[in-house]
């Protein structure tokens, strides 16, 4: 017999299907309705508790319902919700000062947006205007957002339904190294091969190229990356041509990778990027993104250019409280320590599983690539089964990857050791259950 909450859920799901696009709420056969969270846990409308190993969608950077963020947002909401970029905002200035200083970009200017997509759009607008060219370089398997421009440069075809981009994009190797023609190369050989690919592409380019945009670790692409230093090797080539380097830190920023505050810092031998984009975690769930660029690049726009809601008092107040908490509690250090332990636990789980091809990543950005039992064939079916089995065990995780067969693990950066152990154990059981089902 259906329970009252069960039929309320079914009714909501039917209404969702009737009015929202088919491509939303696709993770579970029976989508979850989350109602509240605390720390690293969330609860659904039926009272089930889950350990959130996906941090929202890498948005809950510090913790769910962090009191400091709630207090800052509530206080601001009681004063004024919005003023616009026509006026000065104390917290926007303070947040920009801190981000500019953290960015590592000299003479930096910060522009706030409402999303990662809008941040990347702005970065592309700046680079193409500054360089007077609509040609850009992007990595194969990349994802940069869902506007017409950012979809147009996204290299992961599963996320790029249109090829009618206003930009001309050249795709360079560099993100995926476990499969494809460059698999099994050493770090140095891989780097050389990618640099040769870049030089080859530049030889084919039609005049000036504006920029290379790259995620230091590909997020939607399944938490894959080239070796440390690869983007520095690219930058040496780009510098010879005056091409700008845009680092998309939407997933990798704020210490998520543990070893570095930004993903680009694993590639800092040739100096900082020209443009950095951020979003997701900075607002702890509030709609906040932004672009950091050298002043001469940021100020190259000759026209007015505003974002009505970018840098609004409410999001900057929340983001400032969130960033302050992150820095005061050294959550980057926590990501390194607890992430290291979680990685070790996942490696042990993988060693016992017949469907794990690889565990990868660093800090609290860990990927698990799945294959059909006893083969090397990517298995998106395994990823779907593991997600369902993990959910039954009170664990939420993400998925993605070039072949849709990677699990993505990115909990809030305040994850504790006990929670890491709990999540790894649940994932081990979920992998075993999925493998049994696959036969």
Which residue ranges make up the site for ligand PLP (CB under 6 A)?
A: 115-117, 120, 143-145, 215, 219-220, 248, 250-251, 279, 289
Kindly state the smallest distance separating residue 33's Cβ from ligand PLP, in Å: 21
Of all residues in the chain, what percent are helix, strand and coil, respectively (each to 5)?
A: 45, 20, 40
- Residue closer to ligand PLP, measured from CB, 213 or 356: 213
Give dist(CA 108, CA 249) in Å, integer. Answer: 16
Sign for the CA dihedral angle at 163, 167, 170, 173 comes to negative
Give dist(CA 328, CA 24) in Å, integer. Answer: 36
- Residue closer to ligand PLP, measured from CB, 144 or 235: 144
- Residue closer to ligand PLP, measured from CB, 39 or 155: 155
- Residue closer to ligand PLP, measured from CB, 156 or 353: 156
- Residue closer to ligand PLP, measured from CB, 59 or 353: 59
- Residue closer to ligand PLP, measured from CB, 96 or 138: 138
Kindly state the smallest distance separating residue 405's Cβ from ligand PLP, in Å: 18
Kindly state the smallest distance separating residue 142's Cβ from ligand PLP, in Å: 8
- Residue closer to ligand PLP, measured from CB, 50 or 159: 159
Cα–Cα distances in Å, from 14 out to 17, 24, 79, 208, 319? 5, 13, 39, 51, 35
Kindly state the smallest distance separating residue 27's Cβ from ligand PLP, in Å: 14
Kindly state the smallest distance separating residue 46's Cβ from ligand PLP, in Å: 28
Question: Which residue is nearest to ligand PLP, using beta carbons?
Answer: 116
Place of tokens 């026209």: 303
Do 333 and 378 contact (CB within 8 A), yes or no? Answer: no
Nearest to 276, CA basis, from 302, 255, 252: 252
Half-sphere exposure of 77 (CA within 13 A, CB side): 8
Give dist(CA 141, CA 146) in Å, integer. Answer: 15
The DSSP H or E segment spanning 386 is helix 380-392
Kindly state the smallest distance separating residue 112's Cβ from ligand PLP, in Å: 13
Kindly state the smallest distance separating residue 424's Cβ from ligand PLP, in Å: 24
């Amino acid at each position: 017999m259906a329970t009252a909450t069960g039929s309320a859920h079914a009714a909501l799901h039917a209404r969702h299907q009737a009015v929202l696009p088919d491509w939303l709420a696709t993770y579970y056969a029976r989508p979850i309705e989350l109602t509240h969270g605390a720390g690293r846990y969330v609860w659904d409308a039926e009272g089930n508790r889950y350990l959130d190993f996906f941090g929202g969608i890498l948005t809950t950077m510090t913790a769910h319902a962090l009191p400091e963020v709630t207090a800052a947002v509530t206080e601001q909401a009681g004063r004024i919700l919005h003023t616009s970029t026509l006026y000065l905002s104390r917290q926007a200035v303070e947040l920009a000062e801190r981000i500019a200083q953290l960015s590592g970009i000299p003479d930096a200017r910060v522009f706030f947006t409402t999303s990662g997509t809008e941040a990347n759009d702005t970065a592309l607008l700046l680079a193409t205007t500054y360089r007077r060219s609509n040609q850009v370089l992007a990595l194969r398997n990349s994802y940069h957002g869902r506007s017409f421009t950012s979809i147009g440069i996204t290299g992961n075809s599963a996320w790029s339904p249109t090829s009618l981009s206003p930009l001309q994009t050249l795709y360079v190797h560099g993100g995926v190294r476990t499969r494809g023609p460059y698999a099994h190369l050493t770090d140095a050989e891989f780097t050389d091969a990618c640099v040769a690919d870049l030089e080859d592409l530049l030889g084919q380019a039609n005049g000036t190229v504006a920029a290379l945009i790259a995620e230091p670790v590909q997020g939607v692409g399944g938490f894959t990356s080239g070796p440390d230093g690869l983007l520095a090797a690219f930058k040496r080539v780009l510098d010879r041509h005056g091409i700008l380097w845009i680092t998309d830190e939407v997933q990798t920023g704020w210490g998520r990778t543990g070893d570095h505050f930004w993903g680009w810092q694993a590639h800092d031998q040739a100096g900082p990027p020209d443009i950095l984009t951020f979003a997701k975690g900075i607002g702890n769930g509030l709609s906040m993104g932004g672009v950091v660029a050298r002043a001469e690049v940021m100020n190259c726009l000759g026209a007015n250019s505003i974002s009505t809601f970018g840098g609004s008092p409410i999001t900057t107040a929340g983001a400032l409280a969130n960033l302050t908490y992150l820095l005061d509690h050294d959550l980057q250090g926590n990501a390194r320590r607890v992430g290291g332990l979680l990685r070790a636990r996942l490696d042990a789980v993988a060693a016992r599983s017949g469907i794990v091809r690889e565990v990868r990543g660093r800090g609290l950005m860990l990927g698990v690539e799945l294959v059909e039992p006893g083969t090397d064939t990517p298995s998106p079916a395994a990823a779907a089964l593991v997600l369902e089995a993990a959910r039954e065990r009170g664990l939420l995780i993400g998925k993605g990857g070039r072949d849709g067969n990677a699990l993505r693990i990115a909990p809030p950066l305040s994850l504790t050791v006990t929670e890491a152990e709990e999540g790894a154990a649940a994932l081990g059981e979920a992998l075993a259950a999925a493998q049994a089902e696959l036969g």
